[in-house]
Every structure is written in C-alpha cells, then in structure tokens.
C-alpha cells in the first residue's frame, strides 16, 4: 500500500531545503517625533504557497518539529536583508525564547554572519515572543545577559497576551516592552485598556525600558497612545510591512503637530540660537588626528564628521578614549579613518526646533547617548552643535522665566501666556473657543470669611477647571488664571458648552463646603455692601462667557477680551451659575 504524501510537510521541507523565505520590514517610530527607531523583520513563505502566511508557516514547522531550523533560516534571511539599513536604525528580529539556549545561536553561525555583514550588534534587537511560557527564569535571565554583554538589545513581544504575563517582565530586564494588539485595539474608546497601559508605561519608566505599541490601525488609537505617553508605535496606520525600508511616512506630520501643541506653552528661543560652530572633520580624517585635537584642547568634547556640509556622524571625547583603551583598540583604529569609530546615528535637529522640544528628545535617548552633543542643521546643512550642558542651562532659565508668568496661587499660566495662546490659535487659523470664567459674589465672601478662605475658593476653582478639562476636554486644551477670580479655558467649539456645563455642575455641587454650617442652612451670608449697609448675599457662583471664532472672524486677543466683557456683563445679570455663548456673526 502506497504511503500517502502530506503536501504541507513536503512544502515545508522544500522551503527549508531551499531557504525560500521572504523578509518584509515594518517601521517602528517615535511617538514623540515621528522619527524611525528601526524595523521589525517579518518572515513570509513563498508567494502563492499554502505556507505563505506566517501563521500557517510557523504552525506547520511546530507541528513537524522543524521550528528551530525554520527560525534559524528566517533569522539569517532577516540579517542578510538588513544590510541596507542606514543611519543606525535598529532591526528587530523575532526569536522563540528557547532559541537563546541554542549553541549555534549563542556563539556560532549567527555571530559570524553578523560580523560578515558588518552589522552592529547594538542595532540588533532580539525580540522574544511572550506566547511561549518560560519555566526557568534564572537560567533564561543568565542566557539573555550573555547577549546583552555582547551589545544586543532585548525586547519582549506580545505583552498583555501571552502565558507568562507580568512575571516575565518582572523577572527579566528588557530594553523594549512591546504591547500586544489586543490591548491597543479600540483603546481610544476603552478606559480600562487605557488604565492598564498606563500601568505598563509607569512600570517601564521605573526599569528604564521603552514601550512600543503594536498593531496601531486608527487615528483614534494613535492619538490616545500619544496622550498616554507611549514611546514608540508600529502598525498599519504608520506603514504596512514592505520589502523596502520605508522612510517617508505621512503620519509623521500628525505626530509632530500633536506633540508641538503639548510643548508650546513654555516660551523660549529656537535651538539654533544657542548653537556653536564647533570643530568638524571629513569621514576619511585619521582617528589619530581627531585624538590629537582632543589632547591639545581640554575644553573640546566633540567633533562633528561632515560629508560636504552634511552631518554624517559625531565623535565624543570620552567614547573615543574608551574605544581606543580596549585591548586592540589603539592598534586597530588610530591609523584608520574616523568614520569607523564615529557615532553614525547622532541626534540631528533643525535650527528652528524649540529648545524645550530638543530637551525632551535628548533626555529620551538611550543612557549611553544621553550626554552626547546635539547637531543642528539649517536649510538641510550643518549649522553648529549644542552641548547637553548648554542645552539644560538654557532650558532651566526658560523654565524660570515661565514660572514668573504663572499665577503664584494656582500655578496656572498668567496673562502673557494666555495672550500668546490665543494669538497662536488665531495665526494658525484654528477654530477655537475661549471660556472666560468669573466668580460672582466673591468679594462679599472675601469680606466675610477673609482672604485665606478666599484663596481656598480660588484654588478650588482652578482644581475644578483642571478636572473638568481632563475629563471632558482634550490634550490641546489650555487653562489660565487671569488674576483674582477670573480664569480662562481655551478649547474647541465642539466642547465649549459641554465643558461649561460640567464646570458649573462641579462648582455648584461643592462650593457650599467653604461656608459655615449656619450659612449653609440659611443659604446666604450677611455682608456689607459698598455703602456699608448689611445685606444678604448669595453663595459664590460661576458666570462663563464663551467667545468663539466659529461664527465670526476674530483678528486678535484684544477683540476676544472685548467680546467677553459684553457677554460677562449679561451672564452676571442672571441668577446663579450660568454660561452664555456668542453666536453673532460679523
């Protein structure tokens, strides 16, 4: 009787024998800047094959006990196809956790291949799937330490969906924690998922890891992940897997605009204004010549490597000395080109990038690069360099200046920042609404209870505004304190009435606690009017005037103030807390 042939088994054997595996790459980008961190290498079977899908391919390999062999081929193909990766981008390679025990992976063929392809181990991320349970955490940690010592980064995949859950992260230190798609899907509509992701993010900060959100497919998901503070993102909304290293990503503009709104409230100059020209050399300059520059000038800490007038790399004094100080470093590198020892992925920013944005990005770099200088370009060419010391000193001065413009009682931005906020929205052509919030009957309360209690009411009011905007507003909304009992909230026309309603609701629900029990029973206080006569005064309430450019053209912040003054007068004539929205047209 003829033995029946299994076509899937035969197909798998043929794929392995011919190493017929395709590698596609999906970019992973910063959720702060949109810059590409690296690419995940994903394996596919031959086109048109029943094993083209990675799910079918690896399921078959596991069924026929050929998983390690298949993974080795996929790994080798991924490395070979990564030869064209540029600018120090990282390559994420998926690996079954138990492969780390494989002697061939540990010190044989894979390492030789990396050396042959002239890939840097610091740019290779071993991505371990969490879908396979790990029993011996101690042995597994020792195995991973071996790879970390060689310079590899380690990532854990499928976090939130696998067998070992939090124990895997707690037991082993990872450079990157990749959050599974099951947690990311519809996260913009699911407060429970948001709360869980916040826990992962806070934990990652504690252990010096970065969080990568996988499988992002909608703008809503992306928007929420940026707001939550996720470090990096990956998914179809960014780019689908491709045979090429995709670099031009349209979504980058959305990310940049989103994060620019977050940092715009801190005043300050552009990074180019504090840049210095610095010392520059060509890629072919001998390392010995650069070392001599450092020796002759104690204050020189960095040298820029330029190709024409385009920044190519950076040499930091301490890193160069450290490399030359290794056993064979001096003999190998001193007589060779500096391009072999330079950092080929330095931080490069445009002249007109705000200093506070650069500070944030600089501090988010890996620990080994956090003190490296920052290269500044203008019009696409090298302009100068900024040291971390100068950057932080300037940023500290900006924060001091910013603090001077904050209300000392509520710590909210004062008039200069409020005016700039409104002006920027006008200049950008955005639709916006300004809520002018005024407390009614606040002076009688102050006269009756004293300024200390009055300050407590003002602090309470600012807390109400923050809570309401946090719950009902958006990340782009702005809260300011004009002074005394006058506040502002800048939001979108779609949310202005909702926010106003909830401000009034929360304020009216809690204001009575600032009165004595007797006054609460009476429902009023007795205070003297301007003529010195005793009269009954109602409890403090809220009047809100909503000024918007949704219906009329507004040219400047002074016009906003004029319209608000008219509306407030009408609102304050009404009994109790109320809001009025200007719907008049030009």
pLDDT at 265: 47
How large a percentage of the chain has pLDDT more than 70?
A: 88
DSSP track, 423-467: HHHHHTT---EEEEEEEETHHHHHHHH-HHHHHHHHHHHHHHHHH
**Which pLDDT tens digit goes with each residue over 209-223?**
889 999 999 988 998
Helix axes 496-510, 451-472, angle to 10 degrees: 140
Arithmetic mean of pLDDT, 288-317: 93
* pTM across the whole model: 0.52
**Which pLDDT tens digit goes with each residue over 191-248?**
888 888 888 888 887 777 889 999 999 988 998 898 888 999 999 999 999 888 877 7
Q: For residue 1, what is the DSSP state?
A: -
pLDDT at 387: 94
pLDDT at 164: 45
For residue 154, report the phi and psi dihedrals to the nearest 5 degrees.
-125, 135
Tell me how far apart the alpha carbons of residues 252 and 129 are, in angstroms, rounded to a whole number: 28
Bridge partners (DSSP) of residue 534 are 528
Q: CA angle 465-471-474, nearest 5°? A: 90
Tell me how far apart the alpha carbons of residues 29 and 40 are, in angstroms, rounded to a whole number: 11
**Which pLDDT tens digit goes with each residue over 178-188?**
998 899 999 98
Specify burial of residue 436 (Cβ count, 10 A radius: 0-12, 13-18, 19+): buried
**Helix extents (H) in 428-450:** 442-449
Tell me how far apart the alpha carbons of residues 143 and 155 are, in angstroms, rounded to a whole number: 14
**Are 377 and 383 a contacting pair, CB within 8 Å?**
yes
DSSP track, 150-202: TT-EEEEEEETTSSSHHHHHHHS--SEEEEPHHHHTTGGG-HHHHHHHHHHHH
Helix axes 355-363, 251-263, angle to 10 degrees: 110
End-to-end CA distance of the chain: 92
pLDDT grade, residue 267 (50/70/90)? Answer: very low
Integer Rg of the chain from CA: 30
Residue 579 has pLDDT above 80, yes or no: yes
Strand pairing category for 279-281 and 36-44: unpaired
Task: Give residues with Cβ within 8 angstroms of 244, minimum separation 6.
Answer: 25
Output the average pLDDT for the chain: 85
Using alpha carbons, select from 434, 422, 541, 439 the residue that is nearest to residue 484.
439
Which region among 144-153, 272-281, 392-401 has the lowest average model confidence (pLDDT)?
A: 144-153
pLDDT grade, residue 268 (50/70/90)? Answer: low
Using alpha carbons, select from 449, 377, 453, 459 the residue that is nearest to residue 410.
459
**Which pLDDT tens digit goes with each residue over 40-66?**
999 999 988 999 898 899 889 888 888
Burial 356-366 (b: 16+ CB within 10 A, else e): bbbbbbbeeee
Residue 535 has pLDDT above 90, yes or no: no
Q: For residue 367, what is the DSSP state?
A: G
**Which pLDDT tens digit goes with each residue over 121-176?**
788 888 877 555 556 566 667 767 777 777 788 888 877 655 445 556 666 678 89
> Strands (DSSP E) along 219-309, which ranges?
232-233, 279-281, 302-307
Q: How many CB atoms lie within 10 A of CB 468?
A: 23
pLDDT at 452: 92
**Which pLDDT tens digit goes with each residue over 77-95?**
888 888 777 667 899 988 8
Tell me how far apart the alpha carbons of residues 25 and 224 are, in angstroms, rounded to a whole number: 25
**Are 213 and 234 a contacting pair, CB within 8 Å?**
yes
Tell me how far apart the alpha carbons of residues 532 and 578 are, in angstroms, rounded to a whole number: 28
For residue 314, report the phi and psi dihedrals to the nearest 5 degrees.
-140, 140
C-alpha torsion 213→218→219→222, nearest 10: -10
The better pLDDT of the pair 473, 143 is held by 473
The better pLDDT of the pair 511, 1 is held by 511
Specify burial of residue 174 (Cβ count, 10 A radius: 0-12, 13-18, 19+): buried
Tell me how far apart the alpha carbons of residues 457 and 447 are, in angstroms, rounded to a whole number: 13
**Are 238 and 29 a contacting pair, CB within 8 Å?**
yes
Which region among 394-398, 415-419, 580-584 has the lowest average model confidence (pLDDT)?
A: 394-398
pLDDT at 127: 85
Q: Is 220 left (phi over 0), alpha (psi -120 to 50) or beta?
A: alpha
Tell me how far apart the alpha carbons of residues 167 and 134 are, in angstroms, rounded to a whole number: 10
How large a percentage of the chain has pLDDT more than 90?
A: 38
Residue 266 has pLDDT above 50, yes or no: no
**Which pLDDT tens digit goes with each residue over 334-373?**
999 999 999 988 999 888 888 888 888 888 888 888 899 9
The better pLDDT of the pair 433, 573 is held by 433
The dihedral sign for the CA sequence 178, 182, 185, 189: negative
The better pLDDT of the pair 547, 153 is held by 547
């Amino acid at each position: 009787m003829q033995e029946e042939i299994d076509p899937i088994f035969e197909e798998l054997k043929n794929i392995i024998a011919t190493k017929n595996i395709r590698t596609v790459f999906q970019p992973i980008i910063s959720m702060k800047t949109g810059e590409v961190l690296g690419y995940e290498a994903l394996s596919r079977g031959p086109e048109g094959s029943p094993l083209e899908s990675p799910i079918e391919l690896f399921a078959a390999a596991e069924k026929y006990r050929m998983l390690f062999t298949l993974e080795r081929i996929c790994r080798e193909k991924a490395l070979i196809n990564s030869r064209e990766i540029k600018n120090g981008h990282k390559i994420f390679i998926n690996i079954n956790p138990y492969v780390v025990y494989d002697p061939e992976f540990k010190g044989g063929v894979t390492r030789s291949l990396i050396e042959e392809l002239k890939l840097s181990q610091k740019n290779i991320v071993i991505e371990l799937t969490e879908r396979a349970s790990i029993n011996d955490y101690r042995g597994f940690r020792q195995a991973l330490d071996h790879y970390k010592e060689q310079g590899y980064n380690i990532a854990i995949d499928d976090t939130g969906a696998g067998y070992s859950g939090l124990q895997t992260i707690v037991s082993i230190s990872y450079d990157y924690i990749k959050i599974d798609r099951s947690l990311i899907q519809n996260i913009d509509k699911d407060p429970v998922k948001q709360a869980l992701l916040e826990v992962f993010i806070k934990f990652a900060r504690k252990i010096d890891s970065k969080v990568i959100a996988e499988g992002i497919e909608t703008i809503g998901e992306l928007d929420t992940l940026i707001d939550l503070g996720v470090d990096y993102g990956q998914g179809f909304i960014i780019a689908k897997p491709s045979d090429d290293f995709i670099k031009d990503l349209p979504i980058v503009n959305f990310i940049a605009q989103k994060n620019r709104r977050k940092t715009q409230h801190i005043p300050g100059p552009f990074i180019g204004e504090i840049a210095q020209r610095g010392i520059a050399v060509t890629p072919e300059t001998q390392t010995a010549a650069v070392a001599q520059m450092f020796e002759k000038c104690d204050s020189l800490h960095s040298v820029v490597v330029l190709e024409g007038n385009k920044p190519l790399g950076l040499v930091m004094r301490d890193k160069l000395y450290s490399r030359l100080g290794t056993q064979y470093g001096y003999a190998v590198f001193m007589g060779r080109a500096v391009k072999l020892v330079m950092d080929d992925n330095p931080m490069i920013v445009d002249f007109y990038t705000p200093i506070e944005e650069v500070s944030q990005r600089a501090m988010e770099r890996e620990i080994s690069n956090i003190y490296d200088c920052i290269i500044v370009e203008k019009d696409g060419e090298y302009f100068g360099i900024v040291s971390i010391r100068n950057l932080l000193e300037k940023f500290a001065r900006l924060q001091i200046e910013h603090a001077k413009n904050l209300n000392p009682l509520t710590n909210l931005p004062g008039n200069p920042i409020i005016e700039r906020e409104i002006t920027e929205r006008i200049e950008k052509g955005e639709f916006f609404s300004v809520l002018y919030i005024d407390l009614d009957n606040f002076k009688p309360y102050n006269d009756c209870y004293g300024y200390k209690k009055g300050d407590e009411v003002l602090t309470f009011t600012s807390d109400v505004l923050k809570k309401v905007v946090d719950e009902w507003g958006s990340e782009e909304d702005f809260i300011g304190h004009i002074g005394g009992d006058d506040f502002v909230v800048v939001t979108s026309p779609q949310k202005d009435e909702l926010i106003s309603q909830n401000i009034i609701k929360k304020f009216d629900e809690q204001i009575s606690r600032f009165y004595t029990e007797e006054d609460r029973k009476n429902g009023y206080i007795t205070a003297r009017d301007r003529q010195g006569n005793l009269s009954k005064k109602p409890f403090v309430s809220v009047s809100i005037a909503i000024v918007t450019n949704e219906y009329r053209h507004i040219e400047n912040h002074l016009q906003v103030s004029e319209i608000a003054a008219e509306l407030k007068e009408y609102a304050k004539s009404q009994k109790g807390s109320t809001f009025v929205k200007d719907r008049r047209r030009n």
